[in-house]
Copies of this chain bind each other. A is one copy, B any other.
């Protein structure tokens, strides 16, 4: 199992959280996506390490942005 953490900006409600979870969840190997709306913190668990670019693309697809850390 691999765990990656991101900060996503622009989410304002539960629907935003669902949209982000759904898009990241489509990435191969992702087993869970935990989103904290208040902080924008997104924890992604996957069976193998995933690419940050893929996550950024998924978040963009959902209509939000990964903050540069």
Copies of this chain per assembly: 2
Q: Is A13 an interface residue (CB 8 A)?
A: yes
Partner of A19, one of B12, B15, B63: B15
Within 8 A of B (CB), among A6-20: 12-16, 18-19
Interchain CA distance A16-B16 in the complex, whole Å = 9
- The dominant DSSP class at the A interface is helix
Number of interface residues of A (CB under 8 A): 8
A-B pairs with beta carbons under 8 Å apart, 10 shown = A12-B12, A12-B13, A13-B13, A13-B15, A13-B16, A14-B63, A15-B15, A15-B16, A15-B18, A15-B19
* 7 new A-B contacts at CB < 8 Å, known A12-B13, A14-B63, A15-B19: A12-B12, A13-B13, A13-B15, A13-B16, A15-B15, A15-B16, A15-B18
